[in-house]
Amino acid sequence: MRTSTVVIGAGHAGLAVSALLGERGIDHVVLERGEVANAWRTQRWDGLRLLTPNWLNRLPGLAYDGDDPDGFMTMPEVVGFIDRYAAAVGAPVRTGTTVTDVRAVDGGYRVTTDQGTWDAPTVMLASGAFNLPHPPAVAADVPASVETISPLDYRRPDRLPEGGVLVVGASATGIQLADEIHRSGRPVTLAVGEHVRMPRTYRGRDVMWWMLETGVLDERHDEIDDLVRGRNVPSPQLVGTPDRSTLDLNALTDQGIELVGRLGMVRDGVALFSGSLRNVCALADLKQARLLDRFDEWARETGVDGEVEAPHRPGPTRVPDGPRLSLDLRSGEIRTVVWATGFRPDYGWLQVPVLDRKGRLRHEGGVVTDAPGLYAIGLNLLRRRKSSFIHGAEDDARELTDHLAAHLGA
């Protein structure tokens, strides 16, 4: 089969691209291994809600129109939102179609699937940034008596063995899982490396409102000093809950969760934690203060000061005096280890030489390097800080489809 553009993945990003290709009358197909919004349906834990408030969730041609603009969507609500979007824009989605091979051929690319082959001059990789868990190398050294699980397989606490849980990683995923697992009566120890601290609300407004209004979310990939670092910053310690509460390390400490340093090594069954806990917390406190300073400065300069509550600063992260440096995983204290250590895209089917030595896609703002007609969307800080958020797809999709259309026209 031939078409102008093959879009791989019918998540929010692939569908946003489809909508804009449709507006331009560019013939295309959206290939989806499962159903629309597949990862949101099948690879998220039951209690997860979006980190972005409803009013911010929009895609090209569809804004949130429900009655709870300050709420946070549950996963079924996200799936419903994306399903409605696919229908509204009439996306030509082929569900149940798994891409097995993409390679360069004369005039473009050949996309092989378990349902047939497409040839197209342009391909949009919209297959997601969170396909594979990324446990640390030390995961191989955890004793077999301890269960290990990634957030992609985790559903709810009661499926874990009774007993203690070591959650490794203190990003949004790590703190949320630590919170709900500890509440289930399984005592949690949380291994904390570098992290990003953020209050859910600041001066009465959601932190995402501040991030949007002050331009943080719109910072571009070509304006950021250290893109390697920028693309590797852990997701902020946020949770979307109906009461808009802040879930930071202090809140976890108050619950009785024990903080330890970054997991450095498992030796002879004993987990060893870095002595850097105090410093990573100090770094996160300082960085949060700089972010709030920036919000306050913007509020003063724009005259918003009078419309929001007075500035305030969260207290410093409370670090135990002598955090535990080792934990014997053979003692029975810990029954489960949860690897909240990030995710990676899966390009196992991509037979175009566009990956760097670490398996990352080489691209300039989603325009894949040395592969004319090949594009990517939905990756962390692809073109802007908001690129990995649902509402971040629109600007990226618009600019990338501009580029793609010019390539087709050339």
Partner 1 sequence: MATSETPTGNGVNVQALLDARAALVDAPEAAEFTWRATNQWQHGVHSRSTIDGYFGLGADHQHRSSWEFDADHPLVFAAEDNGPTPVEFVLVGLASCLTAGVAAVAQNRGIKLNSVKATIEGDMSILGILGADPDVRNGFNAIRVKYDIDADASGEDIEALVAQSQKRSAVFDVIANPTNVTVEVN
**Under the rule (CB under 8 A), what is the footprint of partner 1?**
226, 228-229, 232, 261, 264, 272-279, 322-323, 325-326, 358
Alpha carbon distance 236, 130 (integer Å)? 16
Question: Between 9 and 261, whose beta carbon lies closer to partner 1?
Answer: 261
Whose Cβ is closer to partner 1: residue 94's or residue 324's?
Answer: 324
- Both tokens of 35, joined, read 């159903």
What residues contact 165, with CB distance under 8 A and at least 6 apart? 181, 182, 186, 187, 188, 189, 334, 335, 336, 337, 338
Rounded to a whole number of angstroms, the minimum distance from the CB of residue 230 to partner 1 is 11
Structure tokens at 198: 């953020």
| For partner 1, the closer CB: 245 or 279 | 279
Give the separation between CA 265 and CA 394, rounded to whole angstroms.
Answer: 42
Q: How far is the CB of 347 from partner 1 (least distance, A)?
A: 17
* Closer residue to partner 1 (CB): 42 or 279: 279
Q: Are 47 and 3 in contact (CB under 8 A)?
A: no
User: What's the full length of the chain, in residues?
Assistant: 410
CB of 318 vs partner 1, minimal distance in Å? 14
Determine how β-strand 334-339 pairs with β-strand 147-149. parallel
Nearer to partner 1, 100 or 326 (CB): 326
Q: How far is the CB of 175 from partner 1 (least distance, A)?
A: 20
To the nearest whole angstrom, how small is the minimum distance from the Cβ of residue 232 to partner 1?
4
- Least distance in angstroms from the C-beta of 360 to partner 1: 11
What residues does 128 pair with on adjacent strands? none
The smaller minimum CB distance to partner 1, of residues 228 and 310, is found at 228
Q: What Cα–Cα distance (Å) separates residue 125 from each residue in 17, 157, 168, 407?
A: 10, 34, 30, 16
Determine how β-strand 326-328 pairs with β-strand 334-339: unpaired
